[in-house]
A and B are shown apart, each in its own frame.
Chain A
Amino acid sequence: MQGRSTLETLPAGKDAGRAALDHARAALGRIILDKDRQISLALACLLARGHLLIEDLPGLGKTMLAQALARVLGLSFSRIQFTSDLLPADIVGVSTFRRATGEFEFQPGPVFAQLVLADEVNRATPKAQSALLEAMEEQQVSVDGNTRGLPKPFFVVATQNPADQIGTFPLPESQLDRFLMRLTMGYPNEHNERELITGQDRRAMLAGLEPSATADALVALQAAAATVHMSDPLVDYIQALVRQTRESPNIDIGLSPRGAQALAAAARAHAYVERHPGVYPDDVQAVFTAVAGHRLKAAGNTSHRDAAELCQHVLDSVDIP
């Protein structure tokens, strides 16, 4: 496969991490067709040290995206299938008694991975959900009174099925806030769908994928992404957007200051992914729906069908300074 390279052949030096990022992005684009936007948002989310919630129907490549991310970025991966009988211990792990040593030994749960895919997170009980959400927030878990740090970087990709609401526990708004971004995948276009049907098996491709980066390189990339220049007019723009969400008659609850911080961090990371020298308004707009969509509460009388439309309306009513 052309363009495939190993870590050894990646350019060294200051831009090594950057090049690895571009490389990873290209590799992801080959596996997940026609989803450039989602890929760069997912990467931005990762670089901004945030967690990702993917909300869409089954079979649209949610799991594939998560697995591919872990693969190309060289992260350890685990998957938790959330079900209604899932217990917190099934996520964080248990201590078991070892007869041989006469001591309790901690068996780390699936959450002890650098990239955790929480599949169908809304199927589990709030208790199990909160075990995961706490781990996301604290970057550590407490088992039997011992605090155990989670690996770094720690990145959770949770998926939700919005169509199937029977017997589910939708995440409350306060917990949605823990996710930096919420994405939808959407259908591929005709041409790409044909490619999916006729082309190579995606799973085989995934298995053959070489990692483009390492966990350590990713940590360095996260640090670099946080330092992307943000100019005054751009801060003005972010503030204007936030103000608009608070003042718009279509929106009951606007963005909180934490939401504004999230927007800035995500925009920075996106600018980094896009190789912009500073954060452009395009970066803010690109991440706005993903960052703000699940944090806004639409007013009851609004004519906007969904969060994406609401966010677009906000974007369309704020001048770019």
Chain B
Amino acid sequence: MAKPRGTDGSLIDSLPWTLTAIGFALSAHLPYLPVWITAAFLACAGWRIVIERRRAAVPSVWVRAALALICFLGVLATYDTISGVGPGSALLAIMAALKLLETRQRRDQFVLLFIALFLVMAALLREQYLWSLPYLLVAVLLVMTAWIRMSAERAEPLGRSLATGGRMLAYALPLAVAMWIFFPRISSPFWSVPIDTSSAVTGLSDRMSPGDISSLSQSDALAFRVKFDGEAPPPPERYWRGLVLHDFNGRTWAGGGPIGNRPATEQIEFEGDPVRYRITLEPTNQQWVFALELPFEWTLPRTRMGFRQQLYNIYPIDQRIAYEVLSYPAYRNQASVDVRSRAWYTDLPGRTNPLTRALASEMRARAGSDQDFIRDVLARFNREDYYYTLRPPALGNNPVDRFLFDTRRGFCEHYASAFAVMMRAAGIPARIVLGYQGGEFNPLSGQYVIRQSDAHAWTEVWLEGQGWHRVDPTAAVAPERVELGIAGAIVDGVGAAWGLSAPSQVLHRLVLGWDALNARWNEWVLGYGADTQDTFMRWLGMDNPNWRNLFLTMLAIVFGLVILIGAALTFRLRPPDKDRAAVLYRRFVRKTGLTPATGETPNAFAVRVSAAYDRAEKPVRALTNAYLDTRYGPPDRSALKRLETALAEIPRFAPLRARELLHKSGEAP
């Protein structure tokens, strides 16, 4: 016997909702998924709708198996693996699409909705931004609504489905919050979520070619946030040091890896007053840790200061981290440069940028001292018509030559690079520092926001007796870049792209407000990790918040909440007496074995039942009266009790029926 393959069209009411829920859950993944998966999902959804409309048969098991195999191989081919967020969500999408083709009954859509919930959860593995919270809530609400519409007996009004779904979420919310607070966080997780490293993170890289940073400065993406303990240093002192590049190939500066494990502070003289602040660094997938020049202490484990005063973490920073730093803006780097290092820091590849070298030699000869030479070079940038622009012209071979003598338009990396090359040409050790400069103060959160557009490159030169010290050639060309920040210096920036001379005040405030909100979200919600939890638990009065205690507390609280919410619901949702009465009355009707006619009142029915059975009149009468009082009378607790008692006293009619009737007819005259 062949199994039925056709559909009876019973999905037609709930299918649009199920599809909407899955589609919405899937939409968060769409930008990351290969196009063919989206296409496959849409094709399967369309196919299913056609099946449902035409009451056609679902594809046979062989077709479905073949499709599943093809799709699986497709995912494998696209990702080379099936583990990780990307392939995982791709497989989930494929599962949802193919499950559509074998769903036969309404209730089978459970699986589809479960997949939708999984997709929503997987979206959290990709990104946990504040704006994704409303999206997630809407997605879950849609799933719940689809669920209710799937289970509803008849098509109920959409508003009621939505309300029921929302109510269920509201009931679940306290449980979710309790579990979130008390679920033990472990500082070094023994499981780890495979982070999707394929998605690019904008930020500094460990190389610098002309154009790298100017392209970065178009990005409004957040680099990190800073909250100062007390006064912030003025903008010209806010150089956020990242990495140091020293290896120049004529075009590109590169740095050595973060090698070295000795405390690099030993040759540093820290002077003046320190600045204490807290940085919340966005993930960079790099090892560099940014801090104000020059960090003295920091509260980040597994982070050291290596050669060239670079802070680095032994692992790439693949999630948001927060750390406190104590920096001394006034410091003297007395590191000595031996002969080998000197050759290293003055190395220029041969036959590149000859004009620059010639100019440097000439100027050095004229200057007399290294200090004067530096001043002359900066004065040249300042006096001659060099321009600071986001859109410098392209530079061919010998980019420094071309920049210095032809185009004369450049961004910070052009000036830093040109300056360092000139220093090296004159025999002065020089290197490039990459980091950020300035930052915008957000009065709403009290934090400084440093964006990718604040990325900056400057130089350090080594002078005999003075050690390494910072020279920012960009400041010579465009002092306002350092004084006012990137937005003050660049007029052809983002605003210009939108045809605005300057972003409007309101828009700016909105951006700041959103940023402040995000900062709180990061700090309080996403940043709720092992340390914060420990502090919070101790504040709550837990003596020893270890894994076991937290877990037991969580269980106890969740259990208590379930009982509490359950009791509240039972109390609130208990049917009114009159509905309970109807239930009891139906039980009575079943007992009688008779069926009330349409429009037959309970009294009329009672008469009929009394006539049909012997000795039935009294209990039936009592029950009917109690029922009428409970259901139609004014609220009266005792009436329901009477009804329950009466129902208990009703004899089992059905088995007696035949005998009773015979008995009755025998008695008839």
Q: Does A165 have its Cβ within 8 Å of any Cβ on chain B?
A: no
Q: Does B633 have its Cβ within 8 Å of any Cβ on chain A?
A: yes
- CB neighbours (8 Å) of A93 from chain B are none
Query: Are B631 and A233 closer than 8 Å at their CB atoms?
Result: yes
Q: Given the complex of chains A and B, what is the CA–CA distance between A281 and B628 in angstroms?
A: 9
Q: Given the complex of chains A and B, what is the CA–CA distance between A281 and B602 in angstroms?
A: 8
Chain B's nearest CB lies how many Å from the CB of A238? 12
With an 8 Å Cβ cutoff, the count of chain A residues facing the other chain is: 19
Query: Are A231 and B597 closer than 8 Å at their CB atoms?
Result: no
Chain A's nearest CB lies how many Å from the CB of B73? 59
Query: Are B578 and A282 closer than 8 Å at their CB atoms?
Result: no
In the complex where A233-B578, A316-B597 touch, is A282 in contact with B633 (Cβ < 8 A)?
no
- CB neighbours (8 Å) of B198 from chain A are none
- CB neighbours (8 Å) of A231 from chain B are 578, 631-633
Q: Does B603 have its Cβ within 8 Å of any Cβ on chain A?
A: yes
Q: Does A279 have its Cβ within 8 Å of any Cβ on chain B?
A: yes
Q: Does A220 have its Cβ within 8 Å of any Cβ on chain B?
A: no
Chain B's nearest CB lies how many Å from the CB of A273? 15
- CB neighbours (8 Å) of B602 from chain A are 280-282, 320
- CB neighbours (8 Å) of A233 from chain B are 578, 582, 631-632
Query: Are A316 and B599 closer than 8 Å at their CB atoms?
Result: yes
Nearest opposing residue in chain B for A232, CB measure: B578
Partner of A278, one of B582, B601, B633: B633
Residue-wise, chain A 222-265 has the 8 Å CB interface mask toward B (1 for contact) of: 00000001011110000000000000000000000000000000
> Which residues in window 207-261 of B have CB below 8 A to A?
none
Query: Are B629 and A281 closer than 8 Å at their CB atoms?
Result: no
Partner of B599, one of A229, A232, A234, A318: A318
Residue-wise, chain A 251-294 has the 8 Å CB interface mask toward B (1 for contact) of: 00000000000000000000000001111111001000000000
- CB neighbours (8 Å) of B60 from chain A are none
Nearest opposing residue in chain A for B635, CB measure: A229
Query: Are A317 and B632 closer than 8 Å at their CB atoms?
Result: no
- CB neighbours (8 Å) of A318 from chain B are 598-599
> Which residues in window 628-669 of B have CB below 8 A to A?
628-629, 631-634, 636
- CB neighbours (8 Å) of B631 from chain A are 231, 233
Nearest opposing residue in chain B for A315, CB measure: B599
Query: Are B601 and A320 closer than 8 Å at their CB atoms?
Result: yes
B578, B603, B633, most chain A CB atoms within 10 A: B633
Residue-wise, chain A 112-124 has the 8 Å CB interface mask toward B (1 for contact) of: 0000000000000
- CB neighbours (8 Å) of B598 from chain A are 316-319
- CB neighbours (8 Å) of B636 from chain A are 277
Interface footprint category on B: 10 to 19
- CB neighbours (8 Å) of B597 from chain A are 316
Query: Are B578 and A280 closer than 8 Å at their CB atoms?
Result: no
In the complex where A231-B578, A232-B578, A233-B578 touch, is A277 in contact with B599 (Cβ < 8 A)?
no
Query: Are B633 and A277 closer than 8 Å at their CB atoms?
Result: yes
- CB neighbours (8 Å) of B604 from chain A are 282
Chain B's nearest CB lies how many Å from the CB of A281? 5
Q: Given the complex of chains A and B, what is the CA–CA distance between A232 and B631 in angstroms?
A: 9
Q: Given the complex of chains A and B, what is the CA–CA distance between A315 and B600 in angstroms?
A: 8
Nearest opposing residue in chain B for A244, CB measure: B599
Q: Given the complex of chains A and B, what is the CA–CA distance between A239 and B569 in angstroms?
A: 31
- CB neighbours (8 Å) of A278 from chain B are 628-629, 632-634
Partner of A229, one of B582, B600, B603, B633: B633
Nearest opposing residue in chain B for A285, CB measure: B601
Query: Are A317 and B634 closer than 8 Å at their CB atoms?
Result: no
A233, A315, A317, most chain B CB atoms within 10 A: A233
- CB neighbours (8 Å) of A320 from chain B are 599-602
> Which residues in window 578-613 of B have CB below 8 A to A?
578, 582, 597-604
In the complex where A232-B578, A233-B578 touch, is A280 in contact with B632 (Cβ < 8 A)?
yes
B601, B603, B629, most chain A CB atoms within 10 A: B601
Nearest opposing residue in chain B for A313, CB measure: B599
Q: Given the complex of chains A and B, what is the CA–CA distance between A315 and B597 in angstroms?
A: 11
- CB neighbours (8 Å) of A282 from chain B are 601-604
Query: Are B599 and A280 closer than 8 Å at their CB atoms?
Result: no
- CB neighbours (8 Å) of A316 from chain B are 597-599
Query: Are A229 and B628 closer than 8 Å at their CB atoms?
Result: no
A233, A280, A285, A319, most chain B CB atoms within 10 A: A280
Nearest opposing residue in chain B for A231, CB measure: B632
Chain B's nearest CB lies how many Å from the CB of A40? 14
Query: Are B634 and A280 closer than 8 Å at their CB atoms?
Result: no
> Which residues in window 7-24 of A have CB below 8 A to B?
none
Query: Are A277 and B603 closer than 8 Å at their CB atoms?
Result: no
Chain A's nearest CB lies how many Å from the CB of B511? 54
Q: Given the complex of chains A and B, what is the CA–CA distance between A317 and B600 in angstroms?
A: 10
Nearest opposing residue in chain A for B602, CB measure: A281
Q: Given the complex of chains A and B, what is the CA–CA distance between A280 and B627 in angstroms?
A: 10
Q: Given the complex of chains A and B, what is the CA–CA distance between A78 and B202 in angstroms?
A: 101
Partner of B632, one of A281, A285, A315, A319: A281
- CB neighbours (8 Å) of A319 from chain B are 598-599
- CB neighbours (8 Å) of A229 from chain B are 632-634
Residue-wise, chain B 534-564 has the 8 Å CB interface mask toward A (1 for contact) of: 0000000000000000000000000000000
B582, B598, B603, B632, most chain A CB atoms within 10 A: B632
Chain A's nearest CB lies how many Å from the CB of B619? 19
Q: Given the complex of chains A and B, what is the CA–CA distance between A285 and B603 in angstroms?
A: 11
Query: Are A281 and B601 closer than 8 Å at their CB atoms?
Result: yes
Nearest opposing residue in chain B for A241, CB measure: B599
Q: Given the complex of chains A and B, what is the CA–CA distance between A233 and B628 in angstroms?
A: 11
> Which residues in window 295-321 of A have CB below 8 A to B?
315-320
- CB neighbours (8 Å) of A277 from chain B are 629, 632-634, 636
Partner of A279, one of B599, B600, B632: B632
Chain A's nearest CB lies how many Å from the CB of B579? 8
Nearest opposing residue in chain B for A234, CB measure: B632
Q: Given the complex of chains A and B, what is the CA–CA distance between A279 and B628 in angstroms?
A: 9
Q: Given the complex of chains A and B, what is the CA–CA distance between A208 and B492 in angstroms?
A: 112
Partner of B603, one of A280, A315, A317: A280
Query: Are B599 and A317 closer than 8 Å at their CB atoms?
Result: yes
Q: Given the complex of chains A and B, what is the CA–CA distance between A219 and B653 in angstroms?
A: 48
- CB neighbours (8 Å) of A276 from chain B are 628, 632-633
Q: Given the complex of chains A and B, what is the CA–CA distance between A316 and B598 in angstroms?
A: 6
- CB neighbours (8 Å) of B634 from chain A are 229, 277-278
Q: Given the complex of chains A and B, what is the CA–CA distance between A279 and B634 in angstroms?
A: 9
Chain A's nearest CB lies how many Å from the CB of B163? 20
- CB neighbours (8 Å) of B578 from chain A are 231-233
A282, A318, A320, most chain B CB atoms within 10 A: A320
Nearest opposing residue in chain A for B579, CB measure: A233
Chain A's nearest CB lies how many Å from the CB of B626? 11
Partner of B628, one of A280, A285, A317: A280
Q: Given the complex of chains A and B, what is the CA–CA distance between A278 and B635 in angstroms?
A: 10
- A231-B631, A280-B602 given. 10 additional CB < 8 A pairs? A229-B633, A231-B578, A276-B632, A280-B603, A281-B602, A282-B604, A285-B599, A316-B598, A318-B599, A320-B601
27 contacts between A and B (CB under 8 A): A229-B634, A231-B631, A231-B632, A232-B578, A233-B578, A233-B582, A233-B632, A276-B628, A276-B633, A277-B632, A277-B633, A278-B632, A278-B633, A279-B632, A280-B602, A280-B603, A280-B628, A281-B602, A281-B632, A282-B603, A282-B604, A285-B601, A315-B599, A316-B599, A317-B599, A319-B599, A320-B602
Q: Which 8 A-B pairs have the closest CB atoms?
A: A278-B633, A277-B633, A229-B634, A278-B632, A281-B601, A316-B599, A315-B599, A282-B601
